[in-house]
Chain A
Amino acid sequence: MNASGERPPRDTAWRWLGWLWLGVLTLCAVWLGWMLRHGLPADTDLTALLPADRQVPLVEAADRKLGEGFEDRFLILLRADDRVAATQALGDALETLVDGRQLARVDWRELDLADADPHDWMGPWRYRLLTPAWQQAIARDGGESLVEPALRRLFSPAARPDPVADPFGLLDAWLARQPQSPIDAADGLLTLDAQGQHYSVLIGRLAGSPYALPMQQALHATLERFQQAHPEAQLLRSGLVFHAAAGARQARHEMSTIGAASLLGVLLIIGFVFRSPRVLAQLLVPLVTGSLFALALTLGLFGRLHLLTLAFGASLIGIAIDYVLHLQCDRAIHGRAFRLRRLLPSLTLGLISSVIAYVAQALTPMPGLRQMAAFAAFGLIGAWLTVVLWLPRFKLHASPFTARLAERWWRLCQPRRRLPPWLALVLALGLIVLCTLRLTSDDSLALLNPSPAALMHDEAQVQQLLDRDTGSRYFLVRADDTQALLTRLAALDQRLDRAIAAGLAIDYQSLGRSVPSAAEQDANLARVRTLYGAPLESLIQRAGLPADLAQAARARLDDAPRLTLTDWLATPLGQLQQRLWLGQTESGEVATSVVVSGARSAAIADQLSAIANAQPGVVYVDRVARIGTLLGELRRHTAAWIAAAMALMTLALIWRYRGRAWRVVAPPFGATLIVLAVFALTGVPLNIFNQLGLLLVLGIGLDAGIFNVEYARQPSAWLAITLSTLTSLLAFGMLAFSATPALHYLGLTCLIGLASVWLLVPWVRPREPASASNAPKAPKAHSEENSHA
């Protein structure tokens, strides 16, 4: 393993450290294996990235409850000329998935969703439920104006009049105000009639997670087969399972195109330069060990891991490729004359400056950033240890070609002029001005949404056809007990009704519309008693019914029970509203949501917030805006801490390099400015993901800056810088072609940033070898090397 074949005492100590590191990693692996025996404890919920005191548990609960229907079931709308036969075919095909236990059940036949008639189960409650219009009518004239409509209703061929139980049709009037399912039955199928079209409705309930791959594949195959057999049929899909499946398919597709291209590119370049497949394996060892070390320590520290942490943390460890390449280039060129000692200061400085940036991030109050920073810092330290302790012991077949290539490449890339500091400063100031004037930001939820446009279109169309909201805007209403809650709901509903009457283009779903408070129900019963006075007698007389009927009708009012919330939620209609009910909260209160649908605008949001603020115990929540705010907060925090880390790093570098420090920071800072300026000019908005990309650019740029100044006259350093930016470009820059917005922005930043780093390095290279502080060290280091040899 030892290239020199000799074992001086210090080398033995080094060797022991290497073995110790192997022990640590083995421990990490064993511990990780034990931790992960039940799978990775990973969070996917974005809000888990935020400070704990900012997470309102009740909002989370409401989000979950409202999202349930979207997650555990799916809905397909089918339109075809031969609708009945096509639906039959698809329904039967989906039933086979139920038999195969992939789905829990499929509803598509007429009777699958048949409920009993509301007249049967709402019967005894009807005398205590009145619509506002009826309340007003009774208040106006005791209900005389309600006689004429009641008379018409009694003689309608379609009505089912019941002159004793409900001569005025109280229940029908009340039911007309309740949310109705637009899904109906026709031709023996569940049917939706909308926009002049008949759609068959097929509702599937998943047996397990929407992310289960076998189920996704079975469902996908079933639908594909159906489309092949019925090419004329139009399918509209809605449900998380379709989005999850599309995401998985896209990831697989990109892995086999973008991923394969990157890998092939890296293989070709490394193979070309080092002429040895071994180097490639050695490139991976530090990355793998670094990830292992980071995963174990981060999990140990936080207990859980966010998927975003894992994805971006693993990317950031990619900076470690620098260490490997600098080491291997130096070894390949110097052969037996290679000494780790000479490289160690720069490698260490590179590590420290990157780690400083992450430690700064780890101090932020955002758990998400802290996790990510910890993961990246541990990963870099792990990779660095592997590079320093292990790599020199691995065999490297130094090809004379590598040295020749480095020399030729070095001569080829000598710029005729250098960049004077004042020009650099002017250019930097110019770019800063450009950025402040033109740069925009975007924190919209769409960034996190990788679903293809066609599927999003389907989803929007289904929501529109079904007149269904996604539950993304709602009021959260809390109170000490159910009666207080119902009173609060009634007040909120009243405000909303007034605003709607005044032109607010929304609709809402509230339990308050269905269940009045006990006091209100008593008042309603008193109103009905008024109605059952003279107006009832007039109705009976005009309809030609026997006069003693009035007495029988009034007798029904005597033991009319109150409708409780529990009663209502158990009825078939109430079950549709169960998603609104949050029940008892941890603080002993009761809570419910009031879901808003309809038009969306900033003005409407303001008005809704104002309505909520006018009442105690009511808050307005806009899920989309909330996630946008969270993303924005995450972005601003990252930006602030990156800036702080940059300042801190600059100070450290000035302390070491004095007047040359600007040459070290020019590649990373210059590349950052170029990226931002390109974004500003082309109108690409700044978001959390391209900022994470900037972290990567900064890390690699800084390493390049340090090595560029430390080894200004060494072709091997320039070759290593070239290789490291090129391989990182291939690994991360290629992600710019991904269809997933998050990856696309990360990739785009790396593409521009890393190319800028590479282009900037030769222009700021010092003319003289090494810095003044480094000069006296060189001979000393050389003499130590000699003593080892």
Chain B
Amino acid sequence: MPQPDLAHRAHRLLSLLLACLCLAAPLSAYAFDLATLQQRLAQTPSLAGKFTQQRRLADLGTSLDSSGNFRFVRGQRVVWQLERPVEERIELTPEAIVNGSGDRTPPGGEQVARLFLQLLEGDWQALASRFEIALAGDAEAWQVTLTPKAKALRERISSIALDGGRYIDHLTLRTPGGDTLAVRLYDQHPLSGDAP
């Protein structure tokens, strides 16, 4: 059903334009809140692109670097296709993490998978039960910082930072031990239609 969808988007774009014209710049930044950001991210139901992932290990003073491409279907799954240094297909769904050989690893991985999906979707309502969420910037260049509320979670994650514009561009996860997982997403484009 492309017709109503198009009309819907046009209407949304128009109202956004109108808002921009009528309001002063600082005010428009103020009006940009988490709900708006979530809506904006939700406009792309499925997405593909490339990634680089750098895991810095503080103790060793070294890092594990990898790269590959990804496909993301909102509310369903993200497929993380590792190309270097090893080939591996990892599929994260709200239920589990499944690797290339079809094994569910690691045990209890569904929690991590769910967090990862919620971050990519910008599902702030779900995240708000566990994180303090702060938003800065505007629609074209925003930054979101998440800080765990519970002590148990703070022992594993000290903070998560997301930034981007139309899409999420960077995801950075810091642990109390000083390790960092930095993921850069680039060459992103919406997938044609809603099909995965």
Report which A residues bind B (CB closer than 8 A): 110-111, 114, 116-117, 148, 151-161, 163-164, 169, 172, 175-176, 178, 180, 184-188, 193, 542-546, 549
Additional 15 contacts, C-beta under 8 A, given A184-B110, A186-B114: A110-B129, A114-B152, A117-B156, A148-B86, A152-B100, A155-B82, A155-B85, A157-B116, A159-B106, A161-B55, A176-B104, A185-B111, A187-B126, A188-B129, A545-B64
The minimal Cβ–Cβ distance linking B51 to chain A, given in whole angstroms, is 9
- Tell me if A546 and B62 are in contact (CB < 8 A): yes
| B152 and A158 contacting across the interface, CB-CB below 8 Å | no
Bound complex: CA A650 to CA B51 (Å): 96
- Is the beta-carbon distance between B107 and A151 smaller than 8 angstroms? no
Answer whether residue B92 sits at the interface, using C-beta atoms and an 8 A cutoff.
yes
For the complex of A and B, the 7 pairs showing the least CB-CB separation, nearest first, are A152-B88, A155-B66, A158-B112, A172-B106, A151-B86, A188-B129, A176-B107
Taken together as a complex, chains A and B put the C-alpha atoms of A176 and B82 apart, in Å, by: 23
- Contact partners of B109 in chain A: CB under 8 A: 158
Bound-state CA distance A302–B100 (Å) is 68
Q: For the complex, is B191 an interface residue (Cβ under 8 Å from A)?
A: no
Is the beta-carbon distance between B88 and A156 smaller than 8 angstroms?
yes
Q: Indicate with 1 or 0, residue by residue over B52-80, a CB within 8 angstroms of chain A CB atoms.
A: 01010101111011100000000000001
Task: Please report whether the interface of chain B is mostly helix, strand, loop or mixed according to DSSP.
Answer: mixed
Residue in contact with B64 in the complex, picked from A161, A185, A186, CB distance below 8 Å: A161
Report the Cα distance A175→B109, complex, angstroms. Answer: 12
* A193 and B107 contact, CB distance less than 8 A: no
Shortest C-beta distance, B148 to chain A (Å), equals 12
- Chain A residues with Cβ below 8 Å from B62 are 545-546, 549
In contact, A157 and B95 (Cβ under 8 angstroms):
no
B86: which of A111, A116, A152 is its contact (CB, 8 Å)? Answer: A152
> Considering only CB atoms, which chain B residue lies closest to A148 in the complex?
B86
Is the beta-carbon distance between B88 and A155 smaller than 8 angstroms? yes
Is A164 touching B60 in the complex (CB atoms < 8 A)? Answer: yes
**Within 8 Å CB of A193, what residues of B?**
95
B105 contacts partner chain A, Cβ-Cβ < 8 Å: yes
Judging by beta carbons under 8 Å apart, are A175 and B64 in contact?
no
The reply to whether A158 and B82 form a contact with Cβ atoms under 8 Å apart is: no
Give the nearest-CB partner of A114 in chain B. Answer: B152
Residue count of chain B within 8 Å CB distance of chain A: 40
On chain A, the residues within 8 Å of B104 by CB distance are 176
Q: Which residues of B contact A176 (CB under 8 A)?
A: 104-107
Q: A157-B53, A157-B116, A186-B114 are in contact. Are A172 and B105 (CB under 8 A)?
A: yes
Interchain CA distance A155-B60 in the complex, whole Å = 16
Which residue from chain B places its CB closest to the CB of A545 in the assembled complex? Answer: B62
**In the assembly, what is the distance between CA of A176 and CA of B108, in Å?**
9
Q: Is the CB of B107 within 8 A of A545?
A: no
Taking CB as reference atom, which chain B residue is nearest A165? B59
Given contacts A111-B152, A185-B111, contact A155 B86 (CB under 8 A): yes
- B90 A163 Cβ-Cβ under 8 A: no
B99 interfacial by beta-carbon distance below 8 Å: yes
Asked if B64 and A157 sit within 8 Å, CB to CB, the answer is no
What would 7 A/B residue contacts be, using CB atoms closer than 8 Å?
A: A153-B105, A154-B64, A155-B64, A155-B86, A184-B111, A187-B129, A546-B62
**Contact of B150 with A by CB under 8 A:** yes
Q: Tell me the bound Cα distance from A176 to B153 in angstroms.
A: 22
A177 to B105, CA, bound (A): 11
Q: Give the residues in chain A near B112, CB-CB below 8 Å.
A: 158
Instruction: Tell me, rounded to whole Å, the shortest Cβ–Cβ distance linking B133 to chain A.
Output: 15
Chain B residues in 8 Å Cβ range of A158: 90, 92, 97, 106, 109, 112-113, 116
CB-defined contacts of B41 to chain A, threshold 8 Å: none
Please pick, from B85, B100, B106, B183, the residue contacting A157 in the complex, using a CB distance under 8 A: B183
- Distance (Å) between the CB of A235 and the closest chain B CB? 24
B136 within 8 A of A: no
Residue B161 is within 8 A (CB to CB) of chain A in the complex: no
| B53 CB contact (under 8 Å) in A155, A175, A549 | A155
* A159 neighbours in B (Cβ, 8 Å): 106
Q: In the assembled complex, how far is the CB of residue A91 from the closest CB belonging to chain B, in whole angstroms?
A: 15
CB distance from B105 to the nearest CB of A (A): 7
A529 and B73 alpha carbons, distance in the complex (Å): 43
Is B139 part of the binding interface, using a Cβ–Cβ cutoff of 8 Å?
no
Q: Which one, B59, B92, B99, B183, contacts A152 given CB within 8 A?
A: B99
In Å, the complex CA distance between A462 and B64 comes to 44
A186 neighbours in B (Cβ, 8 Å): 114
Bound CA span A159–B116, Å: 12
Min C-beta distance of A193 to chain B, whole Å: 6
B135 at the interface (CB under 8 A from A): no
- Cα-based distance from A733 to B107 in the complex (angstroms): 59
A153 to B110 CA separation, bound complex (whole angstroms): 16
Q: Which residues of B contact A542 (CB under 8 A)?
A: 85-86
CB distance from A549 to the nearest CB of B (A): 6
A151 in contact with B85 (CB, 8 Å): yes
| Chain A residues, CB < 8 A from B55 | 155, 161
Return chain A residues, CB-CB under 8 Å to B114. Answer: 186
